[in-house]
Structures are given as C-alpha cells and as structure tokens.
Amino acid sequence: MARRKLTDTSHPDATLTDSYWLTWGDEPQPHMRQKIIYLTFDEVAKIGPGAFGVSNVCDRLGITYPMVNHYFGGRDQLLAEGAYRAYIRYVTSLWEAVDAAPHDPVSRLEAWMRAQIKWTREWSGWGALLNYPVASLMVTEILDRNFRDEMQRYFEWNLAGLAVLVKDVLTATVSAERPSLDNSDRTDLLADTELVHLTSTVAFCTLGASVWNAGQHLPSAKIQVAVDMAPELVEHHIQWVIRMLQNKN
C-alpha cells in the first residue's frame, strides 16, 4: 500500500466524512492518530476487545498496518489508550447528563443512573474490558502502568459526586456545590458511614442493571420476553432505588 499524503483526507470507507468525525470530536478532519482512536472506539464498542484487530481500522482509513505501531506501539497499546479515553468520556457523560437534568434531587440522580445504563449499552464492548479486566490481561497491564492514576482520579471524582446526589435525595435538597475533578475531598463524605453504604448500593445496583441491559448476561440475552421487558424492568429498578433512598427519611 502506498504511503498516504498528509493532506489526503479521503478514505476507502466512504462513510468516514466530516460529519462522521464530528460525532466523536470537534474537528471535521482530526489528525490520523485521533482517527485511529475514534475508529477503535467504534469497532470495540460493537465487537469487544477480544475480536478486535487493527486490520479493519487500517483498511477503513486506507493506511498501512505498521501505522498503528508507529502511533501507539501495537494493538494492545492502542486498546489500552482507547479504554482510558473511553472511560474519561464515560464519566464525563454522566455529569453532562446530571447538569442537563431538571434541578431537583430525584431527576439528577435518575439522570446519572440512566446515563450509565445508556453508555454501557452503546459502548458495551468497552464495558467488557473496563468491568472485567481479566478479559484482556495484557491490555489491563498496560492500562495499569500508563493510565491508572488518571483513571482513579476520575473514578474518585465520579463516586464523590454520586455521594452528593444520594445525599441530596435523602435530604430533598440540591447541593450548591459538588466535588470537582481537581478537588474531590472525600473527608466529610467518608465520615458518614451510612452515606458511604448507600452510595455503594446505588453504584452496585446501577452497574448491575447496566451490564444486564447491555446484553452482556449471556444466559438471558436471547430470551425474548426478557429482551421485550428490558425497558420496563430497568425503569422499575431505577424507581426502586429512588424509593429505597426516600424511605430512609
């Protein structure tokens, strides 16, 4: 395959238009390295990390396979960076949903839960890697080595913010502030044992519903009645969590 010119924005896959790239970021024609990341987002979300190969990404872009090694060092390094970037997008999307929700405590917590369930379904292949790290041990090792600190920072910010949402439902108020990414002081929150327990319960309940609704529970994935009832069951689950918190008052 001949080397592409840096000014060449065409690709063998005719669907890779300016509009396509703008669904992933702010640039209609991002740098090639970023295009590889975006297509990896797309591919892994659909087929998971185990079946992912760089050949399809490269063929769609019209680049040689060694370009992945040039930009990332190899397939596993590409997957590790993709998982890291996907996780940042995931956490950010939760709080964008909260900020867009009506300004009441129940709507804000519901928005956080619904956003997680929605993201896990749409990005299910990445959920398999992030929630079950043994699914790809080599990728997990690279993630741990290169991105652990930053992922942990986002995790702690997300959980501290969730604790505030839970506390707001318990007190029927909306807090004026919540922890920021650069200031996720957990001292006061951790001092409230019941709040820690309830926040963990909400997190566990939402993650469980997310994984099941994403179709990652193999025994039930092909049971049509379960598939048909999924929206109703997820909605009931969310409302049960809200009532559980409200009944603590």
* pLDDT-wise least confident of 107-121, 154-168, 201-215: 201-215
Say how far apart CA 130 and CA 56 lie, in whole Å: 22
Domain 18-72: CATH architecture, name and number where available: Orthogonal Bundle (1.10)
Instruction: Identify the pLDDT of residue 2.
Output: 47
Instruction: Identify the pLDDT of residue 7.
Output: 54
Say how far apart CA 87 and CA 107 lie, in whole Å: 24
Yes or no: say if 50 and 95 are a contact pair by the CB < 8 Å rule. no
Say yes or no to pLDDT of 226 above 80. no
Say how far apart CA 62 and CA 84 lie, in whole Å: 25
Instruction: Identify the pLDDT of residue 216.
Output: 57
Nearest to 76 by CA among 139, 30, 131: 139
Instruction: Identify the pLDDT of residue 193.
Output: 93
Where does the pLDDT of residue 1 fall: very low under 50, low under 70, confident under 90, or very high at 90 and above? very low
DSSP letter assigned to residue 12: S
* pLDDT-wise least confident of 26-30, 165-169, 180-184: 180-184
Between residues 131 and 1, the one the model is more confident about: 131
How confident is the model over 110-127, as a mean pLDDT? 94
Say how far apart CA 95 and CA 159 lie, in whole Å: 11
- Three-class DSSP category at 216: coil
Say yes or no to pLDDT of 19 above 50. yes
Say how far apart CA 239 and CA 234 lie, in whole Å: 9
48 backbone dihedrals φ, ψ, rounded to 5°: 85, 165
* pLDDT-wise least confident of 66-70, 128-132, 159-163: 128-132
pLDDT tens figures, 81-103: 999 999 999 999 999 999 999 99
Yes or no: say if 133 and 147 are a contact pair by the CB < 8 Å rule. no
**Sequence ranges of the domains in the chain:** 18-72, 86-246
Percent of the chain with pLDDT strictly greater than 70: 93
How confident is the model over 182-210, as a mean pLDDT? 88
Which H/E stretch holds residue 58?
helix 54-61
Instruction: Identify the pLDDT of residue 223.
Output: 81
Yes or no: say if 237 and 209 are a contact pair by the CB < 8 Å rule. yes
Say yes or no to pLDDT of 3 above 60. no
Say yes or no to pLDDT of 116 above 70. yes
